[in-house]
Amino acid sequence: MTRFGKFLDRGLKSLAAEAIAQALADAGLQPSQLQAAYMGNAAAGVMTGQVLVPGQVVLRGMGIGRIPVVNVENACATSATAFQQAVQMIALGAHDVVLVAGFEKLYSTDKQRTFSVFQGAVDVEAIDEVIASLAEGMARTGATADLAEAGRSRSLFMDVYARLARDYMRQTGVTQRDFAAVAAKNSFHGSLNPKAQFQDVLTIEQVLAAPLIVDPMTRPMCAPIGDGAAAMVLVSGKAAARLGLQEPVRVLSSVLASGWDHADGDGPRLAPTVAAEAYAAAGVGPADIDVVELHDAAAPAELMYYEHLGLAAPGEALTLLNSGATRLGGRVPVNPSGGLLRKGHPIGASGCAQLVELADQLRGRCGPRQVPGARTALAENGGGWIGEDAAAIVISVLQRP
């Protein structure tokens, strides 16, 4: 992967080519050996005007053509979806060597253009209902915020996460300081990652003292936008043997699902449902996971996902955090890359970057942020929001043989 950050002087082709070249070199493969490519990009149509064929444009710029190229767009789950689709095609026997890449540019001198990308990740024909839901949530929790600024001076999704955070606080007794502890933990992890967008270590007090974006979230509790790319090569088992690939990482499962309209008492939400399916398909359980990369687009989400992924029992997420289990050196480190909070969040690249981090962890390549003896890893990447749940989510389980 590239370093994530602000690269106003670089285009999509430059960023994607850097990551793809690294992936091919790491695998010891030539571009001519690729049989297909799944290319994830979510925002180029808005940010650069490159619509319809972003994957082909990137690859042709590297001299790669002829092979089938599938462009994937699925909100923040874009390149995780590209990964899941490539996995399925290999499992079905359609291909043996497949490139997966995610690439994005979100920084612009026109902030309204950037924020419009996130506003497009909800039902734009029901935007009044979305705002009404946010207003109702504020009234219910006694919060105050200028909703006219949602999608103007900040991402609309920070308001969505803030509403979920306030409800979670009421239900569990978790406090703003606890959310700050998540951000501080991930800042420590990010300080050890040379490709993270932000590498300074923050204390809980510094997180709390930062400017408030939307109650209860201060700036370090919100994932920054970013530019960047990540890529990987997937191969079938027989191709891995034939090519003599070193340090292979096995995909045990990769499950994609979309949200649905919930009725009262309609059972679990999207994330725990997909997690259960991913564990079942992989033949492992939460206790078998050694390291996790999850979608901490906002710090409160990490705590909620501890429970959704079965890392903590219902109501026990804060206990898990406070025990140090999810910090490097703990039982199941979460977001050793720094997570979206510190690594950055170039939408189309984020899911693939999670998987790159986990593959490196399973190969023992992560230096000071290495999880010792990591053998089984889980990635969770969600995106979009419709009604009362995410629009899409992908959960994948990887393992070192």
In a domain, 335, yes or no: no
Determine the pLDDT at residue 151.
84
Give the number of domains in the chain: 1
In a domain, 190, yes or no: yes
Domain of 196 in residue numbering reads as 120-221
Among 147, 79, 157, which Cα is nearest to 118's?
A: 157
- Residues 138, 144, 146: CA angle, nearest 5 degrees: 100
Among 334, 104, 341, 337, which Cα is nearest to 230's?
A: 104
Determine the pLDDT at residue 141.
87
What's the per-residue H, E or C state across the chain?
CCCCECCCCCCHHHHHHHHHHHHHHHHCCCHHHCCEEEEECCCHHHHCCCCCCHHHHHHHCCCCCCCCEEEECECECHHHHHHHHHHHHHHCCCCCEEEEEEEECCCCCCHHHHHHHHHCCCCHHHHHHHHHHHHHHHHHHCCCCCHHHECCCECHHHHHHHHHHHHHHHHHCCCHHHHHHHHHHHHHHHHCCCCCCCCCCCCHHHHHHCCEEECCEEHHHECCECEEEEEEEEECHHHHHHHCCCCCCEEEEEEEEECCCCCCCCCCCHHHHHHHHHHHHHCCCHHHCCEEECCCCEHHHHHHHHHHCCCCCCCCHHHHHHCCCCCCCCCCCECCCCHHHHHCECHHHHHHHHHHHHHHHHCCCCHHHCCCCCCEEEEEEEEEEECCEEEEEEEEEEECC
In a domain, 156, yes or no: yes
Determine the pLDDT at residue 263.
76
In a domain, 212, yes or no: yes
In a domain, 283, yes or no: no
In a domain, 153, yes or no: yes
In a domain, 126, yes or no: yes
Is the pTM of the predicted complex or chain greater than 0.85? yes
Residue 352 bears catalytic tag: no
Determine the pLDDT at residue 160.
96
Token pair for 317 = 């997420």
The pLDDT tens digits along the chain (401 residues) read 999 999 999 999 999 999 999 999 999 999 999 999 999 999 999 999 999 999 999 999 999 999 999 999 999 999 999 999 999 999 999 999 999 999 999 999 999 999 999 999 999 999 999 999 999 999 988 888 888 888 888 999 999 999 999 999 999 999 999 999 999 999 999 999 999 999 999 999 999 999 999 999 999 999 999 999 999 999 999 999 999 998 999 999 999 999 999 877 667 899 999 999 999 999 999 999 999 999 999 999 999 999 999 999 999 999 999 999 999 999 999 999 999 999 999 999 999 999 999 999 999 999 999 999 999 999 999 999 999 899 999 999 999 99
Residues 163 and 215 sit within 8 Å (Cβ to Cβ)? no
Residues 122 and 384 sit within 8 Å (Cβ to Cβ)? yes
Spot the catalytic one: 76, 222, 352, 366.
Answer: 76
In a domain, 185, yes or no: yes
Greatest distance between any 2 Cα atoms in the chain: 62
Q: For residues 181 and 99, give the distance between their C-alpha atoms in angstroms, rounded to a whole number.
A: 37
Determine the pLDDT at residue 289.
98
Q: For residues 215 and 309, give the distance between their C-alpha atoms in angstroms, rounded to a whole number.
A: 26
The burial of 10, by beta-carbon neighbours within 10 Å (0-12 exposed, 13-18 middle, 19 or more buried), is given as: middle
